[in-house]
Amino acid sequence: MEKATFAAGCFWGVEAAFRNVSGVKSTSVGFMGGTTKNPSYKEVCTDKTGHAEVVMVEYDSAEVSYEQLLEVFWNIHDPTQVNRQGVDVGSQYRSAIFYHTPEQKAAAEASKEQLQSSGKFKAPIATEIVSATDYYLAEEYHQQYLEKKGLPSCHC
C-alpha cells in the first residue's frame, strides 16, 4: 500500500470522494501541516494550529495511480481559493498536496503546472505542494462522517 495526503476544504466530502475511487483501500481524516501536537478538531477550527484538514488515502498503485488520485483532487474543489472552500474559511480549509516521496512531489508539481496552463481557471492555482509532516487522526466521529449520517455530500 502507498499513501497520499490531500487537503481540499472540509475533510468530510474530500474523504467521501476518495473512498469511491477503485484501488483506494482505506481513508481517514485528520490534520497535517501545523505546529500543534495532537490537535483536536476544536483547536484546528480556531485557525491557530496551522494544520489543514486532510484526508490520508491508502491505495494500491497496481489498481490506481497517484496521477489518477491527483485528477480526483483537482476536480473536487476550487484550487484557486486561498484558505477557503465555499463557505468554509480559514487556513485549515486550504488546498494542499502533502507529498510522501520525491516522485509524488514531481507528479503533483507537473499536474499543477498542466492544470494552470490549461486555462480551466482564470485565477492562479493556490494549492500548496509541501512535504508530508506528522499526521494526527481526527476524532472518531469525523471518520466516514457522511456515510455515518447517510448523506451523499456536504452540500445536501
- Reported in sequence order, the residue ranges of the chain that DSSP labels E, i.e. its strands, are 2-8, 24-32, 52-59, 84-85, 88-89, 95-99, 128-131, 136-137
Residue 123, number of CB atoms within 10 A of its CB: 11
Q: Which of 98, 96, 94, 107 is nearest to 61 (CA)?
A: 107
The answer to whether residue 156 is catalytic is no
* CA separation for the pair 93, 129 (Å, rounded): 15
82 contacts 94 by C-beta, under 8 angstroms: yes
Please state the φ and ψ torsions of residue 93, each to the nearest 5 degrees: -105, 15
Distance of CA 78 to the CA centre of its chain: 12
CA dihedral 92, 93, 94, 99 (to 10 degrees): 80
Catalytic member of 10, 45, 154, 156: 10
Active site residues: 10
